[in-house]
Amino acid sequence: MKKICATVGALLLLVSSLFAIDKKINGLMIDCSRLLEKHDYYYRLIDFMAEWEMNALLFHFSDDHGLSIALQGYEKLAHKHAFSPFEIQALVEYARERGIDVIPELEVFGHTRYITDHPDYHHLYVGDRSETIVFNALDPLNPESIELMRSMINEVAKLFPSYYMHLGCDEVNLSGLGIEDKQEQAKVWTDYVNTLIGFVRDHGITPMIWSDHVRKDPGVAELLDKDIILAEWNYDPNYIPRGLLELKEMGFSDIIMAPSVSCWRNRVIPARPQLNNVNAHASALAGGIAGGLINTVWLPMRYLQESMWYGMAYSAWLVNSGKPMKLKKFHRAFCEKMFGLRLNHKLDRFLSNWTRLHLDRRFYSAIANKDFTIFDDSSRIDELVAIKDLSFYIINKPINVNPKKNPHILSSMYLSAEIIYVLSEGLLILANNKINSERKDITLRHLDSVIARASTEWNRGRFPDDPAKYEAKFPNQTSSHLLVVLRMLKEQLED
């Protein structure tokens, strides 16, 4: 009897899944593996998504940094504050009641140090093991990997009644296997992934993977099971959605666009370059080439929690409008929904200027690595001066409004502008040995204030004892830890 019920349930889920593919996905991906936020944040996120008429939350709960759900039988791999099975089911049900499908993403191939860093699974690691983060893989030739993934997929399927399951499969590095022949390597890659795709389908769920290996490896594109959803990601601000029709001609008929407002190119604020990236990805929806869009928000330690709502709302509004972005119309909706305010000229100008506060990632790396050769290029100094001047203008010409709701979000946006200011001013001081001591002292006092307030916001929305607040798990990712970079800048100014 149980077997019959399970079969009927799987068929019903399959029918629902087939129906869902025809529905335009308007979603977010939240990275709760590299930084797990307080659990109530995800409830607030779901409320926000419902208000902006979004319908899918891609829950990136596993990655090299850890596992954010204590899957039954794999509790030893989970974060200290991980969701229990009961807690995640409650969250999923809360989302379902608000029209939002929570899609789990279980990394099954690359980005699997959450598994292979544990002593029990060291032997499944493919790659050069080190303290730094490098592209790696779970050994696809070891039968133990297959059984491990079968078991974990089964556990995930129990918790998420979603139409889809995302298997990751991006940035896989199989060089450690020593396979020279590219076609043979593609066969190893696809034999493994196709097997796991089959495990997902056994539950009546549609598999989803990232598109990068299909894009760059003709062998993978040829051999990979086509009955999946490809999530097309490319975070270049000048991205043009080319080659999607070719993917469809290969047999990959279901494509979801996956831009990013927080990625390796971007820090602190959902700035204009990445908003342009969202615009470019969204353009693929207009002609029906793609079936939806999921805005990816990576590595939360790069930004203040309350400063990212603008970027999330941006993609939601854009997808629902079905038209090229009309910024003033979006700003009108943002101010009404987030602050209960009518848009005026000052608010519009603030929002437009705020998203221009983009500092190149290499400035953060310069602080993290104590390597300031970036200043050998005089154009970088000009860039810093321009950003410093704009951020100074924003924080010293406040719009003087009283939000009817969510005043903390507006405060956080101003704090983000202050962060950009002290970073740019501090870097300019380090670049110029002739700066007087009074200017340095003023900057240090401002930096102290910014660090204290950023730390307070962290503690309010995130676990205060999370090591990610104080240090990078992988040393080569230090520049992605905002509070760490700010503290390092202070130390360098004090030397």
Domain boundaries, the chain: 2-325, 345-494
Q: Is residue 3 over pLDDT 70?
A: no
Query: In angstroms, rounded to a whole number, what is the distance separating the alpha carbons of residues 178 and 157?
Result: 34
Q: Would you tell me how many other CB atoms lie within 10 Å of the CB of residue 316?
A: 24
Residue pair 413/376 in contact by the 8 Å Cβ criterion: no
pLDDT band for 294, please (50, 70, 90 cuts): very high
Angle between helices 482-494 and 437-461 (to 10 degrees): 160
pLDDT band for 9, please (50, 70, 90 cuts): very low
Q: Is residue 14 over pLDDT 80?
A: no
pLDDT band for 246, please (50, 70, 90 cuts): very high
- Any idea which of 16-20, 68-72, 113-117, 165-169 has the lowest mean pLDDT? 16-20
Give residues with Cβ within 8 angstroms of 4, minimum separation 6. Answer: none
DSSP 495: -
SS3 state at 5: helix
Q: What is the pLDDT of residues 59-96, one digit of tens each?
A: 999 999 999 999 999 999 999 999 999 999 999 999 99
Query: In angstroms, rounded to a whole number, what is the distance separating the alpha carbons of residues 341 and 333?
Result: 9
Residue pair 244/234 in contact by the 8 Å Cβ criterion: no
Q: Is residue 18 over pLDDT 90?
A: no
Query: In angstroms, rounded to a whole number, what is the distance separating the alpha carbons of residues 495 and 477?
Result: 23
In this structure, the dihedral spanned by the alpha carbons of residues 349, 353, 355 and 358, taken in order and rounded to 10 degrees, is: 180
pLDDT band for 432, please (50, 70, 90 cuts): confident
Residue among 206, 263, 207 nearest 233 (CA): 263
Give the homologous superfamily in CATH for domain 2-325. Glycosidases (3.20.20.80)
Query: In angstroms, rounded to a whole number, what is the distance separating the alpha carbons of residues 455 and 462?
Result: 10
pLDDT band for 22, please (50, 70, 90 cuts): low
Give the chain's mean pLDDT.
94
Q: Would you tell me how many other CB atoms lie within 10 Å of the CB of residue 441?
A: 11
Query: In angstroms, rounded to a whole number, what is the distance separating the alpha carbons of residues 486 and 372?
Result: 16
**CA 64 to chain CA mean position, Å:** 14
User: Stretch 141-170: mean pLDDT, rounded?
Assistant: 98
User: Stretch 399-417: mean pLDDT, rounded?
Assistant: 96
Contacts 24+ apart (CB under 8 A), 39-46: 39/81, 39/83, 39/87, 39/91, 41/305, 41/461, 41/462, 42/91, 43/91, 43/94, 46/91, 46/94, 46/95, 46/98, 46/100
Give residues with Cβ within 8 angstroms of 355, minimum separation 6. Answer: 269, 270, 271, 272, 275, 310
The Cα diameter of the chain in Å comes to 82
Q: Is residue 10 over pLDDT 50?
A: no
Site of tokens 């699997």: 112
Which contiguous run of DSSP H or E holds residue 29?
strand 25-31
User: Which pLDDT belongs to residue 201?
Assistant: 98
Which residues are paired to 126 by β-bridges?
137
Residue pair 297/316 in contact by the 8 Å Cβ criterion: no
Which residues are paired to 209 by β-bridges?
230
SS3 state at 11: helix
User: Which pLDDT belongs to residue 44?
Assistant: 98
User: Stretch 207-222: mean pLDDT, rounded?
Assistant: 97
Query: In angstroms, rounded to a whole number, what is the distance separating the alpha carbons of residues 393 and 477?
Result: 31
Residue pair 318/278 in contact by the 8 Å Cβ criterion: yes
Task: Report the DSSP pairing between strands 56-60 and 101-105.
Answer: parallel
Task: Report the DSSP pairing between strands 206-210 and 137-138.
Answer: unpaired
